Amino acid sequence: MAFKIAIAQINPRLGDLRSNLALYEEKIRLGVKEGADLVIFPELSLTGYFLRDMVPNVALKLSAPEIGRLKKLSRDIAFVAGLVEESPDYRFYNAAVYFAGGEIRHVHRKVYLPTYGMFDEQRYFARGDRVRAFDSKFGRMAILICEDLWHPSTIYLAALDGALAVLCPSTSPLRGITEGQPQDDNARYWELINRTYAETFGLFVIYGNRVGFEDGVGFWGGSEVVDPFGRRVVKANYYDEDFVIAEIALESVRRKRTMAPLLRDEDIDLTINELLRIRERPAHTEQVKGLKAFGSEAQARRGPKVEGFKGLRVKGAKSKSAKRKR
């Protein structure tokens, strides 16, 4: 089944729900006019990105009037909105919501919240705890938000869960301008992983980034659709607002996976067993010494396996993510 997917590469206003909702309506009407079936909006594009202490002020419960307005807009065209979701227990999530047919069909809460460089998302947002594919009228899809896609495990899980396309709303800043290059270093890296993931897992990657400036930080745009063979279907402008449409057929996923049946041959049990082994492996002697003060004598007698500290970062160990650009 072929369908038209649009990416609304916009410049939202920080903390201004009313203005950004009007911008959504404008782009959704444009999508309907141009015959698009699905529109992707960037990460947190209903609120702006560098919200900090404004997060509670712009957060929306899924029963909020603004959400009702978005549901009505989805009667004519499906779309993915980037917003702050407030849960019933008053947690705030960086979320992407898939609206279609006047209803919410899927919600993805960002799993990996960056805390390096200029980013401090974990201070303001709760972490999502799942990666799930979902069924749409176009085929099975998954949503991953920006930093999520920098972790190979997320798209691996999405592909194993049957996703034929991964929708990635993003708010990626520009970094590393090189003379003579049409895009910055961050854009080049994103384009590399989009192409690599699409071809490796045999699926479409739909990447929707924003533009404009917030708090002195610029965003590079460059939204794109990449097919399962790693070929770019459509590319938006760098650094400027844009609205691009691509016609895609998810049947090409079948062709790619027939030619390269990597997912068919994937040994899930092997992966699970090895991950369990890695999670439970004995700690280094020096790490155990540093943890003894926290364990009981019975725990110490059980040997170097330190259960209860699986997620602990050992003092002196450097995070790989601290060395990365977003």
Contacts of 88-94 with CB under 8 Å at 24 or more apart are 88/61, 91/126, 92/55, 92/56, 92/59, 92/124, 92/125, 92/126, 93/125, 93/126, 93/128, 94/43, 94/44, 94/121, 94/125, 94/145
Query: Residues 115-135, buried b or exposed e (16+ Cβ, 10 A)?
Result: eeeebebeebbbebeebebbe
pLDDT, residue 90, reads 97
Q: What is the pLDDT of residue 177?
A: 80
Sequence-distant (≥ 6) Cβ neighbours of residue 89 within 8 angstroms: none
- Note the pLDDT tens digit of each residue in 244-302: 999 999 999 999 999 999 999 999 999 999 999 999 987 654 454 454 444 444 444 44
Indicate if the pLDDT at residue 309 is higher than 50. no
Query: Please, which pLDDT band fits residue 33 given cuts at 50, 70 and 90?
Result: very high
Q: What pLDDT, on the 0 to 100 scale, is given for residue 150? A: 97
| Single-letter residue type at 236 | A
Sign, CA torsion 185/188/189/190: positive
* pLDDT number for residue 287: 53
The string of pLDDT tens digits covering residues 68-113 is 999 999 999 999 999 999 999 999 999 999 999 999 999 999 999 9
What pLDDT, in 10s, does the model give residues 211-237?
Answer: 999 999 999 999 999 999 999 999 999
The fold for domain 2-266 equals: Nitrilase/N-carbamoyl-D-aminoacid amidohydrolase (3.60.110)
Residue range 175-183: average pLDDT? 82
Tell me the pLDDT tens digit for each residue of 40-61.
999 999 999 999 999 999 999 9
**294: nearest Cα among 305, 309, 276:** 309
Q: For residue 283, what pLDDT is reported?
A: 63
> What gap in Å lies between CA 241 and CA 221, rounded to an integer?
8
Confidence (pLDDT) at 270? 97
Q: Residue 314: its pLDDT value, please?
A: 37
Residue 295 phi, psi dihedral angles, 5° rounding = -105, 160
CATH 3.60.110.10 spans which residues of the chain?
2-266
pLDDT digit string (tens) for 7-29? 999 999 999 999 999 999 999 99
